[in-house]
Structure 1
């Protein structure tokens, strides 16, 4: 049975800490919304027994979304150092 990924545990922050920062950072809010949508896609694919390569691609996309969130939390005044950060 698929289990929702615990982003807050990975970030080593509580939900409340992230939500507080989200309120004052529109970009962080968008990134978190994107992450939630991708995570839902992963759960849906796993529940539907999607092909392994499809699930792997979705998980890689989720990891990239998490990396963007970490970047924004660490450096809130930047837009990301690498190409593709604003996809």
Structure 2
């Protein structure tokens, strides 16, 4: 079954906290949009190749998504993301 990652759980922050912060932080807003776009692409790629060996394009998208999540976590901790 294909399922979206729960970014909020991964980051150990509430959805409400992130929404408040993104309204005041354009960089965080941009990173979250990028993450959501990549997550949607991963989900679409996984649904197309469901049951087949994961293809390189989906793996690349997952790596990019993970990198963006790391940038979000860094940004939330006070870094420049």
Confirm or deny a common fold (TM above 0.5): yes
State the TM-score, normalizing by the size of structure 1: 0.83
Alignment correspondent of 1:75: 78
State the TM-score, normalizing by the size of structure 2: 0.88
Structure 2: stretches of 5+ with no match in the other structure: none
Higher helix proportion (structure 1 or 2):
2
Structure 1 residue 57, shift from structure 2 partner:
0.8
Partner Cα distance (1:52, 1:2) in 2: 15
Match of 1:61 among 61, 64, 68: 64
Partner Cα distance (1:41, 1:12) in 2: 23
Q: How many residues align?
A: 78
3-state secondary structure, aligned to 1:8 = helix
Structure 1: stretches of 5+ with no match in the other structure: 81-87
After the TM superposition, which parts of structure 1 deviate over 4 Å for at least 4 consecutive aligned residues? Answer: none
Structure 1 residue 41, shift from structure 2 partner:
0.3
Structure 1 residue 38, shift from structure 2 partner:
0.2
2:7 equivalent to 1:4: no
Q: Once superposed, what is the RMSD of the aligned Cα atoms?
A: 1.4
